[in-house]
Structure 1
Amino acid sequence: MPAELGRRLLAELVGTAALVTVVVGSGIAAQRLSPQDVGLQLLENSLATALGLGVLVLVLGPVSGAHLNPVVSAADAVLGRRGRTGLRARDVVSYTGAQVVGAVLGAAVANVMFDLDAVQVSTTDRTTRGHLIGEAVATAGLVLVVFALARTGRGAWSASAVGAYIGAAYWFTSSTSFANPAVTVGRTFTDTFAGIAPASVPGFVLAQVVGGVLGLALVLVLYPFESARSA
């Protein structure tokens, strides 16, 4: 493995692990701090996630692009194919593997920090039609935000915009916006506020892939050409 690729994969693994630690850890903390108020729990969880994700994108973006998400990695490969500016298609699998491993490790770290068993199996079912539509919408929006900024020379806004979008999507989507196959897998390993039952994962991942394709189509229609201009 080339050293440069290894460095990028490490950044994706560490970044996705940190993201899931933030999501799960803040979910556990919120559940304990506000046991009688689910709305307040979600507010606490979404705020921590939005801020944490923004920091991770800012810190790791220069290393690996801070994809932290297999859908984003795949979209980057597709959009960069013409100009040879994005992730190479053959590296998408490696990125995805690093992201999934990181997500599982992140859930374990969060569990242990709060004196829970490192590995649990979630029992939270999320298989309604509304949840799946919510995941498609959330993922389409995420892909649109990420690549609209990248293709219009406004990549410097990615950290704040992506964090803000995910924080908002916690509230306007029925699924609370997982929007990430790796994070979805990782969250099966915690039976807490942020968990998802393994049986719900295939539907979520399929919805995320569909959303990713829709978001990619929107990017290609709205921003057919890359631009170096800044806003």
Structure 2
Amino acid sequence: MVLDLKMAGAGGQGASLGEAAYREMKERLIRGKYRPGYKMTVRAVAEELGVSSTPARDAINRLTSEGALVYAGPKTVIVPVLGELDLKELTTIRIVLEGLASEKAAPFGSEQHIEALGQIQGRISGALDAGNYDEALWHNKEFHFHVYEMAGLPHLVAMIESLWLRVGPSLYNLYPEFAQERNGVRNHQMAMEALAERDGAALRAAFENDIRDGYRLLRLAARSARM
């Protein structure tokens, strides 16, 4: 995907284009587009996004400062591979924060929100049926954050997003097992039912279960990679 310069700001210049490059790379990391261990350079990022080296370098520098990328050489960065301890810590925090966000979102459940979530889930299920796990991950983030943002707590959502920035690349390791078991589909269905009832405790439980189910597979993948 090449960045739309009109969307980057006035003329797509300077800091505006650097911000657009950063946001695009951040979104790709969160949605699992870049896998753990994936290597990139300023030149490669610039070509991929259709920008010059300056905004590409700025985006990489910001993401390394946030721990989403690490330097593997003078001109190369990689997406870090999370170990078991990292995954456990991130999962523990995610359960607390995402559980809180979903519970706080429950009172704002509406037919419009349920319909929107149903459409997103339809795209997830279709992608899983087709074995298109990239697309499934892309819409999975959309489903979760649609609910979290309903709570009207932007600082909480920002904290959750920072966690997804770290764990997002590892989510591809959920597949194909997660697709075969359809645990995520069931958890999302439970979430929609809870939201329809505006049941905060049930909505929180659905998202916490989703995180725990994913963690079990990610932990196994981390152990296998270590052997």
Q: Using structure 2 for the length normalisation, give the TM-score.
A: 0.33
Q: Which has the larger radius of gyration?
A: 2
Q: Using structure 1 for the length normalisation, give the TM-score.
A: 0.32
